[in-house]
Amino acid sequence: MRQLEMMSNFVRLAAHLQPDSVVDGPGIRCVIWAQGCGHNCPGCHNPQTHPFDSGNVVSIDELCEQISAYGQNITLSGGDPFFQSDSFAKIAKFAKSIGLTVWAYTGFTFETLINNEQYLNLLKYVDVLVDGRFDISKKSSECKFRGSTNQRLIDVKQSLINKNVVLWSDEFDTFQIKNNTYF
Ligand code: SF4
């Protein structure tokens, strides 16, 4: 699968850092919007983030300074940050080093990511992964923090330890409460 070629200390973003989000994971979070996505999910809400040559090229050092100044847990969204896994691994590693949690959205499945060294390099700094392509036929307003019921909220650390997907639990997820499952 394609990786966006970036100079080692830069990342391509679709927008400025977005602090104070309350819909991209629990609590108040700072969202980093990756530019570039090759999944082409029908009904995607962010088609402007798909081209790999659009958006803005940003210094990772400057971005980390901004993350530190906001001091909010971060969410990697897009676009798909795993198309720039080397750059986003540096950003996620920095966030973890100053005590922040990291959520990441991807169109890849967890099973695909763990079988690729480059993807794993980013995944190992992610606390919760929202995985899978958006499926418009499974769109549901009952899904908290995700668009369709096929997408999973995955506790990455526990999943890597168990070598099996362990779902992140959220007592306020009405879909999970009603169905006792994410599928
Ligand atoms: S993975 Fe996300 S950004 Fe990419 S096409 Fe699918 S919904 Fe859109």
Q: Rounded to the nearest whole angstrom, what is the distance from the C-alpha of residue 145 to the centroid of ligand 1?
A: 14
Q: Is the CB of 104 under 6 A from ligand 1?
A: no
Q: Give the number of other CB atoms < 10 A from CB of residue 71.
A: 11
Q: Is the pLDDT of residue 59 over 90?
A: yes
CATH: 1.20.1440.230, 3.20.20.70, 3.30.70.330, 3.40.109.10. Which one for 2-181? 3.20.20.70
- In tens, the pLDDT along 21-37 reads 999 999 999 999 999 99
Q: Is the dihedral of CA 145, 85, 44, 29 positive or negative?
A: positive
Residue nearest to atom 1 of ligand 1 (CA): 107
Q: Is 138 in the pocket of ligand 1 (CB under 6 A)?
A: no
Secondary structure (H, E, C), 2-51: CCCCCCCCEEEECCCCEEEECCCCCCCEEEEEECCCCCCCCCCCCHHHCC
Q: Name the H helices within 32-169.
A: 60-70, 85-97, 110-113, 117-123, 156-162
Question: Is the C-beta atom of 49 inside 6 A of ligand 1?
Answer: yes
Mean pLDDT of the chain: 92
Tell me, what's the pLDDT at 100?
97
State the average pLDDT over residues 156-165: 94
Q: Is the pLDDT of residue 137 over 90?
A: yes
Domain ranges for the chain = 2-181
Is the shortest distance between the CB of 44 and ligand 1 below 6 Å?
Answer: yes
CA–CA dist 8, 58 (Å, integer) = 11
